[in-house]
Structure 1
């Protein structure tokens, strides 16, 4: 994936370097629709995870997690398999010459690092395992027989963003033939709709999609548009996720909660056109 990002940036830079310049009129995106598909790498801050159910109520502190990228192969472009990697989809409309309103689906993956040691506070009873007891901020190793915790299908962030795009060449009274070079920034809010894979002690997992919480984010990046309608876009996105209602087991009253900050690095391919 990193090789693809580097190649994309080099392609954009090479195109600009060999293009011819001439004066240009004002850039106007109003009324245009854009659609893109891309791929992300994500990272997360440590978080406290609180588990609560009929027979347990405990908190794991400073839990470490990472994403789970899929090796870059032809499946990234295979319609039957393109939703397996970590991906981003977005469709938007320019409501003014510079501002767009868009809806996006960010499919991240969140995987708790197995066998890490964290501190636990709370109590577990009735599981019939060696873990049934009271804990007072003491270390515990997160082995597979105690807990597996993943948002791998996935950490789905459905969001609405307001973005502003600036044409860098317009600002310098220049044109690159058949190429537009833009920067953009924006902010968004949305909901988290994960399908969480949880194995907790000897309880059966729930394994259902569920609205678990909300998120908010800032975004910025570089857009290179070719022949007015095709673009490649590099994004950096960071934000906050709060999920107070994560499904864990088949018991409806059982749930987990956590909140953390996230960061994405994205590469997107898209089209833009006017209605």
Structure 2
């Protein structure tokens, strides 16, 4: 009888402890990042642990740039060069899966390591076209023949010091049209602006910083000699961005982002004689893209 009483007490005491542990165990809540626009949290879910992917199309604008050309028989810099982008005409290329890389596009894949922070990798396919003809300032020298095998330079031969030069297509064609490819990693932050009562539609501000490599495919004709060169690691870039993201559902969204950046390329291919002829350039750019995306 004594042993039975002890056993009953042990079972009752054990159940009591388990019940207390269950009652006292805290209920986990989603950690939701605080928005700059509101002190209260309107969402009841966290983005942490989700991935996202988006695809879109861009327009870009370029500040005036200095371009230096170097090789056998020449070393000169064209200053304050003007250039523009080259968006494709509106066509089925924008929706044809086989032609998606033809227009100026943006692709990005990211991961939310916090509710309101993500890290991503992506590809900004911009296009850069130097205006031809145009008048620029030139410094440096150009011999009567340059490169190897020799290329005749005609009336452009000379020694220059802050002189104005009318650059025409018989001297130069200079484009990164396949394209000015900025491949970067970015850190992004998200701040809720508006959230619908059903917690599905929402408007969010996105800001971010990025850095990466520039891998252009430069199409250059240098005194009539050149080619659409193959892609190469030509330099690096850094950027800042800000934009708006509208969720149609918790997963499907549209986004418009403006990005400002700086690119430094010191290994631009020109004539195709990559061991002796090259160009270098820094570019300040402003880019705007609109994308459709999906979170999962």
Report the TM range for the smaller structure's normalisation. Answer: 0.7 to 0.9
Pairwise mapping of residues 201-220 of structure 1 onto structure 2 (< 5 A)? 201-205=223-227, 207-220=229-242
Alpha-carbon displacement from aligned partner over 1:143-189 (angstroms, at most 9, x marks no partner): 1110000000000000000001122236xxx6355312111101000
Conserved? CA contact 2:175–2:219, under 8 Å: yes
Q: Does 1:130 align with 2:152?
A: no
Pairwise mapping of residues 84-99 of structure 1 onto structure 2 (< 5 A)? 84-99=102-117
Aligned counterparts of 1:119 and 1:223: Cα–Cα separation in 2: 43
Q: Does 1:238 align with 2:260?
A: yes
Q: Which residue is equivalent to 1:158?
A: 183
Tell which structure's C-alpha radius of gyration is larger.
2
Alpha-carbon displacement from aligned partner over 1:221-241 (angstroms, at most 9, x marks no partner): 111112211100010110111
Q: Which residue is equivalent to 2:125?
A: 107
How large is the RMSD of aligned CA atoms in angstroms?
A: 1.5
Alignment length, in residue pairs? 248
Q: Does 1:146 align with 2:168?
A: no
Residue aligned with 1:168, SS: strand
Structure 2 spans left out of the alignment, 5+ residues: 1-40, 146-150
Q: Which residue is equivalent to 1:250?
A: 272
Report runs of 4+ in structure 1 exceeding 4 Å deviation. Answer: none
Conserved? CA contact 2:116–2:190, under 8 Å: yes
Alpha-carbon displacement from aligned partner over 1:201-230 (angstroms, at most 9, x marks no partner): 133336111111110000111111122111
Q: Which residue is equivalent to 1:181?
A: 203
Residue aligned with 1:114, SS: coil
Aligned counterparts of 1:206 and 1:153: Cα–Cα separation in 2: 9
- Report the TM-score, using the length of structure 1 for normalisation: 0.86
Conserved? CA contact 2:185–2:210, under 8 Å: yes
- Cα deviation for residue 94 of structure 1 reads 0.3
Aligned counterparts of 1:38 and 1:47: Cα–Cα separation in 2: 27
Conserved? CA contact 1:169–1:176, under 8 Å: no
Conserved? CA contact 1:169–1:175, under 8 Å: no
Structure 1 spans left out of the alignment, 5+ residues: 1-22
Residue aligned with 1:243, SS: strand
Residue aligned with 1:75, SS: helix
185-194 or 70-79, larger mean C-alpha shift: 70-79
- Report the TM-score, using the length of structure 2 for normalisation: 0.80
- Cα deviation for residue 37 of structure 1 reads 0.3
Q: Which residue is equivalent to 2:27?
A: none
Q: Which residue is equivalent to 2:9?
A: none
Aligned counterparts of 2:106 and 2:113: Cα–Cα separation in 1: 22
Conserved? CA contact 1:37–1:88, under 8 Å: yes
